[in-house]
């Protein structure tokens, strides 16, 4: 077999193995899963997620997902917990302990300590008959028949299953809490993801100059206004209300279609009824209007009056596009 064929075959087999195992997890969504989610939902404390080895890495990911979806969570390394970090666990906290085997030495030491504190213990394990499975108040079953590793040793499919069950818990809690996109924005204020959820049209227009001419402005003044405001466009405004728009393209078409431009006014070359958007709309909504209409500039309004311009370049610069 060629090297390339071997790589493709192995990759596809790995994906197929993991996909089948993940699909099978649906069979483990049972009464204990419901009780575990309800316990976390009703808890007045945090979710402390612990594990060791690869399970500790998955624990960190689950903590990040819970925090970002409105459920306060914190990571505690199972080995460090029995050497002083057990103080992380507070009275009302719910503890999720992750272990594929449920029988690792650190888990056997840690579990009785958590039970002594009277915290609810949720076991996330592939072995319900393990020490963790028997001692936990509730078990989240993440059993997999085999690892993707050909030697059935390296944690691959099992860690993927742990992460999927963690995601299922987080999304169930998200739905129970009625967690919305606005809530999500509070926890993701940075980067393009956050900006899509909170950046408004007014945040964009406030950065730009505000090109406008009257309907009776001559061509020279109109071109100067477009040039000086550097947005490739000007609104045609009458008593604060938008009656038209003139773009660079309109200027080019005017020069092509009129041999004599001396007597032309802004009203003669403008495009009437231009697309507009309210200042309070999200910037991502402005992007949708621009893309739908295949235009580069959009006029913003506030209380029906002209407020400014949103340019496609603004959205690119902000990372919205």
Annotated binding site for Zn(2+): 77
Q: Is the dihedral of CA 141, 143, 147, 153 positive or negative?
A: positive
Listed in sequence order, the DSSP H helices in 200-308 are 201-205, 219-229, 248-257, 266-269, 283-293
| CB atoms closer than 10 angstroms to residue 104 | 20
Token duo for residue 53: 């080895």
Token duo for residue 50: 């612990």
Show the CA angle centred on residue 78, arms to residues 73 and 81, nearest 5°: 85
Rounded Cα–Cα distance for residues 246 and 212 (Å): 9
Rounded Cα–Cα distance for residues 142 and 301 (Å): 53
Q: Are 136 and 92 within 8 A, CB to CB?
A: no
Rounded Cα–Cα distance for residues 147 and 14 (Å): 9
The angle, 0 to 180 degrees and rounded to 10, between the axes of the packed helices 283-293 and 191-198 is 90
C-alpha to C-alpha distances, 103 to 80, 128, 130, 181, nearest whole angstrom: 17, 11, 6, 40
Strand partners, 121: 95
Annotated binding site: 77
3-state DSSP assignment of residue 125:
strand
Q: Which of 167, 175, 152, 173 is nearest to 58 (CA)?
A: 167
Q: Are 19 and 159 within 8 A, CB to CB?
A: no
């Amino acid at each position: 077999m060629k090297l390339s064929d071997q790589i493709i075959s192995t990759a596809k087999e790995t994906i197929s193995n993991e996909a089948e195992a993940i699909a099978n997890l649906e069979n483990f969504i049972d009464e204990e899963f419901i009780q575990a989610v309800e316990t976390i939902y009703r808890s007045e404390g945090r979710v402390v997620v612990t594990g060791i080895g690869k399970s500790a890495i998955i624990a960190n990911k689950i903590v990040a997902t819970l925090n970002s979806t409105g459920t306060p969570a914190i990571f505690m390394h199972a080995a460090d917990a029995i050497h002083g970090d057990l103080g992380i666990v507070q009275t009302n906290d719910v503890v999720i302990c992750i272990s594929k085997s449920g029988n690792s030495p650190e888990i056997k030491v840690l579990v009785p300590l958590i039970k002594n504190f009277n915290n609810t213990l949720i076991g996330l394990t592939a072995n319900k008959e393990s020490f963790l499975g028997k001692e936990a108040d509730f078990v989240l079953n993440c059993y997999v028949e085999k690892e993707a590793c050909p030697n059935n040793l390296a944690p691959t499919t099992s860690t993927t299953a742990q992460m999927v069950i963690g995601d299922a818990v987080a999304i169930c809690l998200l739905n129970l809490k009625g967690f919305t996109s606005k809530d999500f924005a509070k926890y993701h204020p940075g980067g393009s993801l956050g900006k899509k959820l909170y950046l408004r049209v007014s945040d964009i227009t406030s950065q730009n100059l505000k090109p406008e001419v009257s309907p009776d402005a001559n061509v020279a003044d109109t071109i100067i206004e477009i040039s000086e405001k550097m947005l490739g466009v000007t609104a045609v405004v009458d008593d604060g209300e938008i009656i038209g728009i003139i773009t660079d393209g309109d200027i080019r078409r005017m020069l092509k279609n009129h041999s004599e431009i001396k007597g032309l006014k802004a009203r003669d070359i403008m495009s009437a009824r231009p697309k507009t958007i309210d200042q309070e709309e999200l910037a991502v909504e402005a992007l949708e209007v621009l893309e739908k209409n295949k235009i580069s500039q959009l006029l913003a309004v506030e209380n029906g009056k002209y407020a400014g311009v949103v340019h496609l370049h603004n959205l690119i610069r902000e990372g919205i596009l």
